[in-house]
């Protein structure tokens, strides 16, 4: 099974549903975030969610986060922007992003290692392109 198939299966849907659409926008967030994936994860660490982040990167079970955690870490403007692009309400976007982000990080870090630099960009671009298609 390819990385994309594993990712899509973990999300429980196709690229055409709202969760897949939000996943595509979440990937865009990773690409545009200052510091990329590492910068985003640093924000979660600084917000006291370091144990959750470690679980997403590690090989065990992913610790969940809440919609409130998403709001607190990313801020209302980012969530509102993602919601508008995905065609979701603000609260649905926060809830779904809380479900998608741990799985996304988990699938981008097979074997407990985050891809760096160009490898990360290639993985994100591949998953994003498959979700769109």
Domain ranges for the chain, please list them: 3-132
Token pair for 106: 């988990």
CA separation (Å) from 3 to 9, 24, 44, 63, 116?
10, 15, 24, 21, 16
Question: Mean pLDDT throughout 116-124?
Answer: 64
Q: What is the pTM of this model?
A: 0.76
Domain 3-132, CATH: 1.10.10.690
pLDDT tens column, 40-71: 899 999 999 999 999 999 888 999 999 999 99
Residues 94 and 73: their CA atoms lie apart, in Å, by: 11
Q: What is the mean pLDDT of residues 67-95?
A: 92
Other beta carbons within 10 angstroms of residue 105's beta carbon come to 22
Q: How confident is the model at residue 77 (pLDDT cuts 50, 70, 90)?
A: very high
Write phi, then psi, for 68 (nearest 5 degrees).
-65, -40
Q: Considering only 17-21, 46-50, 51-55, 112-116, which range has the smallest mean pLDDT?
A: 17-21
* 82 within 8 A of 93, measured Cβ to Cβ: yes
> What pLDDT does residue 74 have?
93
């Amino acid at each position: 099974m390819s990385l994309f198939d594993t990712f899509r299966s973990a999300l429980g849907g196709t690229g055409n549903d709202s969760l897949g659409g939000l996943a595509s926008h979440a990937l865009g967030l990773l690409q545009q975030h200052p510091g990329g994936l590492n910068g985003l994860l640093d924000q979660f660490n600084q917000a006291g969610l370091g144990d959750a982040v470690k679980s997403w990167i590690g090989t065990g079970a992913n610790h969940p986060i809440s919609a409130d955690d998403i709001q607190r870490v990313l801020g209302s403007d980012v969530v509102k922007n993602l919601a508008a692009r995905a065609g979701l309400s603000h609260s649905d976007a926060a809830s779904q992003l809380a479900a998608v982000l741990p799985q996304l990080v988990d699938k981008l870090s097979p074997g407990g290692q985050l891809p760096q630099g160009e490898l990360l960009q290639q993985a994100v671009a591949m998953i994003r392109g498959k979700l769109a298609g």
